[in-house]
Structure 1
Amino acid sequence: MYTKDQQMSRIRLITSCGLLIALSAIGALIKIQGTIALDSLPGYFAALYISPIAGGLVAALGHFLTAITSGFPMTLPMHIMLMLVMAIVAYVFGVAGKKINGVIACIVATILNGPISTLIAAFTAKVIGLPFNGAAMFAALVVPLTIASAVNIVLAYIIYRVFKNKRL
């Protein structure tokens, strides 16, 4: 059985995550290119403000919402893999932001979610036989994805800095 304070804490956590997932849905509609959108900002914010695990969940669902609103252009299995990558990157961002510092966390997450995740996606697309894959996919997506990642990550960090001592 939970105490009243524990119940309120759980309710606050679920409500905060739900609100951030809803904001991810709005960001999913702000497309930069294909399935590259402003959907992960709430996930990165959650990774710092709530916990790295919550951030990973919000970021993964944010990508899924973008994939849904884009019609799964790279197939469902590919987008599920990208959800996992988003969850890991947001988690790493949250851990680095709490244990090292925010600027280093922003740099690491931008590299992970930009060139590294593009490389993973290009390789995975080649393995599962998608027509758009490999070096062509990497070359076409690395710059817009890295820019979008940096925008999502830096804005999340700035918003976190504003709200870090306030309760949502």
Structure 2
Amino acid sequence: MRSKTFKLTLMGMFVALSFVGSYIKIPSPFQSIALDAMPAFLGGLMLGGVEGAVIGFLGHMLTAANAGFYLTLPIHLLVAAMMALTIYVYHWTYKKTNLAIAGIVGVFLNGVGAPLVLALMPQFGWGFFMGIAPFLTFASAVNVGISLVVFTAVKKTKFVQSIGLDYGK
């Protein structure tokens, strides 16, 4: 990586893309399912696990704030923390295995794991989980899938090689 400033600039761009992605909705009964996670998944692959986790946390908090914290601020802090953990594990899985397995792990953690944590809370329950998990899993597959396609394409470019991105490895 060229410099810390360059890495921070890319992180800021990915957070901004998360905000933009929050306006690209995936049809579901839940208004919050969108392409806002894709930049965090991509950042986790390109920049590293910690950097991707920061992007995921900040991206979620920014988009949740824009929507008025409809699940309350404490719940959105928990969701953002789960997003950060998901991105970190996604990156770690990619480093230890390959993109396909990392993709499966990312979809499972974001689509099933995150709502499962909320389902254990009395104000949500299993009905919430059963209602949101299929839609969130589909949205996670779309977000992760786009990140894998973009990452694979970007990894091959001479521009990216010339700026010294290490792809988080």
Q: TM-score, normalised by structure 1?
A: 0.87
Say whether residues 1:16 and 2:7 are aligned partners: no
Q: Which runs of 5+ in 1 are unaligned?
A: 1-5
Which residue of 126, 132, 136 corresponds with 1:145? 136
Name the counterpart of 1:3: none
Structure number with greater CO (CA < 8 Å, separation at least 6) is 2
Alignment of 1:59-138 (within 5 A): 59-124=56-121, 126=122, 130=123, 133-138=124-129
Between Structure 1 and Structure 2, the one with more helix by share is 1
Secondary structure in 2 aligned to 1:37?
Answer: coil
Say whether residues 1:29 and 2:23 are aligned partners: yes
Q: Which runs of 5+ in 2 are unaligned?
A: 164-169
Q: TM-score, normalised by structure 2?
A: 0.87
Alignment: residue pair count: 156
Moved over 4 A (4+): none
Q: CA RMSD in A?
A: 1.5
Which residue of 153, 156, 159 corresponds with 1:162? 153
Identity value in percent? 35
Q: Structure 1 residues 165, 99: CA separation in 2 closer, same or farther (over 3 Å shift)?
A: farther
Letter in 1 for 2:4: R
